[in-house]
Structure 1
Amino acid sequence: MAQRRLSSILAMDVVGYSRLMQKGRDELLHALDVLFRTTIRPTVKAQSGRVVKLMGDGAIVEFGSARDAVLCATEIQKQVSSVPALYDDTERLWLRMGIHAGDVTVSEGDIFGEAVNVAARLEAAAPEGGVFVSKLVTDLAGSGLPVQFQNEGTHRFKNIEHPLQILSIVVDQVGSAPEALNVERGHDIRFAKSSDGVMLAWTAVGEGSPVVRAPAWISRLDMDFRLPHLAHFITSLSNTHKFIRFDARGNGLSDRDIPDISFDTMIEDLRAVFDAAEVERAPILGMSQGCAVAAAFAARFPERISGIVMVGGFPLGRSKRPVKRDQEKASAMQTMMKVGWDDDYPSLRDMMADMIVPLASVEDRRQFAEAMRDMVTPEVVSSYRKVIDEIDVTDILPDIQAPCLVLHCDGDRMHPVEQGRLMASLLPEARFVTYESSSHIPSANDPCWPLMNAEIERFLKQCRAS
């Protein structure tokens, strides 16, 4: 009896199969037999997949998890790249792959349905050695994958009714999940004392020249590697730098019973972490309100700043913006946070997660919303929100001489791209880059993340050289 279920489908085939058969049938079939026995089947099994059928030059593989399908395809392509050449080293053996997810019908071990058809279309369009995946797959796979995606745009396929947003896996830039896990396990928590006695939890991961993250939104150091807006930033930056970050006062593992929260204390807390980490001069990573904090720090301590990366920043908090609707929204959010922050049903925190990382998977956003309750109390988050809404650094920006990289998504629903543009226009040495995304802070599966990551690394290299 036929059954229906939700599956992720991986379609693969051999590039130039007919031509290779003509050059040497026996040698090709032997190489494919070895490849399927030693690489494809073991990797599929390791990722809990099922080879549904072999088709001479390819295969259809079913997975219950989009994450498993992506990891399997990536690992197979990595291994195939090292397979010895055929025909006296005159030909390489290449696979191309496509992954899609959806309902399938299962009958007598075989599978049918649109997910299979779309996966096959993606596979046919993929380049040699490449993997094309649908946006749906990256959404279902969630963050934390040791994989980078590149946006391939929107494509139409024959007999597929709706256009599909396609991404490719950047196989030669694939990281290692165990390496990321080792980074998480390898850091220790230390404490810095701010000028008013507040103890600030901080940590450093990686080796190399330092990069310091300014305080932004809310956090908790022992949760960072599970958060869809932070984990990939930490892993990427710690690969090439000593990445220093801390929980802001009232947050996470820092002191929660605090005498004061103000924009000025945020600047002073950043200085305290610079001193505790023995950093004389370094670039700062600012995210959201951390961009304004970093700018103010650069104005006050210019000798300690070699550059600022600003992601989703704003020079004017909502209460300071000329639009009355922004001011009303600021007041409403402060009240909602005070009375509804720790509700068992996290509707307010769900809304915040949706605004910060809208392209993260549903599961990642849900976990982010749950984690926020453990980061800060309702009273502190309401006060913290009020300080953020009152930010105005427009007067000091023209005096900042440090180079700045201002990055903003054009569909940012938390702080609109106009705020990023205003920030860049007031800074004397700013480069402004926008991305086609609705994210406030891009998640790992956001198509713009690889582009943003590369831009950040180029900028930090320039900071090191200066």
Structure 2
Amino acid sequence: MGHARDIGFVSSRDGVQLATARYGAGPTLIKAATWLTHIERAAPGTIQQALIDEFAPRFSYVEYDTRGCGLSQRRVDELSFEAWVSDLEAVADAHGREPFTLLGFTCAAGVAVEYAARHPERVNRLILFGGFATSYHSTSHPDPAIRREGDLMIELAELGWGNSSPAFRQVFVSRFLPAATQAQWMAFDEKQRTTATPDVAVRYLRAMYGMNVKEAAARVRCPTLVLHPKDDEMVRFEQGRRLASLIPGARFVPLEGRNHIPFPDEPAWEGFVRETRRFLGTNDERAGRAEIRLTERQLEVLRRISFGQTDKQIAAALGLSPRTVEMHAARALQALGCRTRAEAVGRASERRMFVA
């Protein structure tokens, strides 16, 4: 489903330009950026598009490309955990001063935890998926075999990220998406190649493997939901459970799945949607009708548009002029935050606004 997108740019503390995209209207929900992102390349069947479709009808959903990736500034001097937190601070500040919901997916979970700990007045709810508190190079009691695994991943990125053969990059794909189809593997491999250059990939891995948010997790004070696939091969299930145990009062939900990043047609995604709706209080599908108000006339015009009627046909049926029908349709689009009539019909139908 299409959603109106507002693309903008903000500057982080060191002047790095970050590309942001905002969808929908309502309370703000910000997704902390991960490294394999491109805000202009959300495609059907991807987690990026699924998140937009899930949150845009109920929230002002904000995503952004991390430094060095996507539409954000590609050539950067600093690429570190502190820089990522500063980037999130810049994006949050650019989207108002009211408390918001913060979403941390996979490697951005630690960034979200750190931000929530530093700015308790800004985050009213925290959602973490597939995250970890410590990584290969930051654990206090490193297992030599585990550390070697991290070193190997970096070596593979150094040797093969920019290689014309996808063999090296597919090592990452196999860890991220072990249950994916061949077509999904190829699409993800292409995403890796186009969203980050080889040097950024290596630098990002080094910084990510040094993340440690154990102390920050203990300082989080907002309601927190932590979800993790049981058979995740990239970030082990125990790491997700450990992260939840460090956050006071956090609720931990195991999900069925092997993929580190779920596809919209698998049980892990269904579980994510079910649990986040419960956590955010958006279980009732009729709730959206109260958030966006259309007049009876606007709703009737939109309903008739959904039947395929023209403005002249609607005008004749309702005793209005075609110009008045056009005005009601335009105001309905504005209220729903849509650019096209088809999009407005889809959004109203999703929110069950046509149901008496």
Where on the TM-score scale, by shorter chain, does this alignment land: which range? Answer: 0.7 to 0.9
Answer yes or no: is the 8 Å Cα contact 2:45–2:264 preserved in 1.
no
Answer yes or no: is the 8 Å Cα contact 2:135–2:209 preserved in 1.
yes
Asked if 1:415 corresponds to 2:235, the answer is yes
1:447 to 267, 281, 299: 267
Number of positions where the alignment pairs a residue of Structure 1 with one of Structure 2: 281
Q: Which amino acid aligns with 2:9?
A: F
State how far apart, in whole Å, the 2-side matches of 1:446 and 1:350 are.
Answer: 21
Q: Which amino acid aligns with 2:6?
A: D
State how far apart, in whole Å, the 2-side matches of 1:379 and 1:227 are.
Answer: 29
State how far apart, in whole Å, the 2-side matches of 1:327 and 1:450 are.
Answer: 34
Query: Which structure carries more strand by proportion?
Result: 1
Structure 2 equivalent of residue 215 of structure 1 = 33
1:394 to 214, 226, 240: 214
- What secondary structure is seen at the aligned counterpart in 1 of 2:254? strand
| Post-superposition CA distance 1:8-34 (Å, at most 9, x none) | xxxxxxxxxxxxxxxxxxxxxxxxxxx
Q: RMSD in angstroms over aligned alpha carbons?
A: 1.7
Structure 2 equivalent of residue 232 of structure 1 = 50
- What secondary structure is seen at the aligned counterpart in 2 of 1:230? helix
1:277 to 59, 79, 95: 95
1:430 Cα deviation after fit:
0.3
State how far apart, in whole Å, the 2-side matches of 1:279 and 1:372 are.
Answer: 34
Answer yes or no: is the 8 Å Cα contact 1:228–1:357 preserved in 2.
no
Please list, as runs of the form range in 1=range in 2, the aligned pairs for 1:241-260 lying within 5 A after superposition.
241-260=59-78
Q: Which amino acid aligns with 1:408?
A: H
Structure 2 equivalent of residue 354 of structure 1 = 174
- What secondary structure is seen at the aligned counterpart in 2 of 1:249? coil
Structure number with larger C-alpha Rg = 1
Distance of aligned partners of 1:235 and 1:400 in 2 relative to their CA distance in 1, 3 Å threshold: same
State how far apart, in whole Å, the 1-side matches of 2:62 and 2:280 are.
Answer: 14
- What secondary structure is seen at the aligned counterpart in 2 of 1:250? coil
Asked if 1:340 corresponds to 2:181, the answer is no
State how far apart, in whole Å, the 1-side matches of 2:11 and 2:113 are.
Answer: 22
Q: Which amino acid aligns with 1:411?
A: D
- What secondary structure is seen at the aligned counterpart in 1 of 2:253? strand
Structure with the larger RCO, 1 or 2 (CA within 8 Å, 6+ apart): 2
State how far apart, in whole Å, the 2-side matches of 1:227 and 1:250 are.
Answer: 25
State how far apart, in whole Å, the 2-side matches of 1:237 and 1:214 are.
Answer: 14
1:319 Cα deviation after fit:
1.4
1:439 Cα deviation after fit:
1.6
1:229 Cα deviation after fit:
3.2
State how far apart, in whole Å, the 2-side matches of 1:202 and 1:209 are.
Answer: 17
Answer yes or no: is the 8 Å Cα contact 2:227–2:253 preserved in 1.
yes
State how far apart, in whole Å, the 2-side matches of 1:357 and 1:453 are.
Answer: 19
- Between stretches 205-214 and 445-454, larger displacement belongs to 445-454
State how far apart, in whole Å, the 2-side matches of 1:347 and 1:429 are.
Answer: 43
Asked if 1:267 corresponds to 2:85, the answer is yes
State how far apart, in whole Å, the 2-side matches of 1:394 and 1:429 are.
Answer: 15
1:227 Cα deviation after fit:
6.7
| Post-superposition CA distance 1:363-391 (Å, at most 9, x none) | 12211111211111101110011000000
1:328 Cα deviation after fit:
0.8
Answer yes or no: is the 8 Å Cα contact 1:217–1:288 preserved in 2.
no
| Post-superposition CA distance 1:230-279 (Å, at most 9, x none) | 22122111122111000000011100111201111111100101112225
State how far apart, in whole Å, the 1-side matches of 2:193 and 2:28 are.
Answer: 30
State how far apart, in whole Å, the 2-side matches of 1:396 and 1:461 are.
Answer: 26
Structure 1 unaligned segments of length 5 or more: list them. 1-179
TM normalised by structure 2 equals 0.75
- What secondary structure is seen at the aligned counterpart in 2 of 1:339? helix
Distance of aligned partners of 1:266 and 1:317 in 2 relative to their CA distance in 1, 3 Å threshold: same
Q: Which amino acid aligns with 1:325?
A: A
Structure 2 equivalent of residue 323 of structure 1 = 143
Answer yes or no: is the 8 Å Cα contact 1:261–1:384 preserved in 2.
yes
| Post-superposition CA distance 1:342-377 (Å, at most 9, x none) | 222212322323322333432122111112111111
Q: Which amino acid aligns with 2:189?
A: A
Answer yes or no: is the 8 Å Cα contact 1:229–1:356 preserved in 2.
no
Please list, as runs of the form range in 1=range in 2, the aligned pairs for 1:30-429 lying within 5 A after superposition.
180=1, 182-183=2-3, 186-225=4-43, 228-321=46-139, 322-429=142-249
- What secondary structure is seen at the aligned counterpart in 2 of 1:314? coil
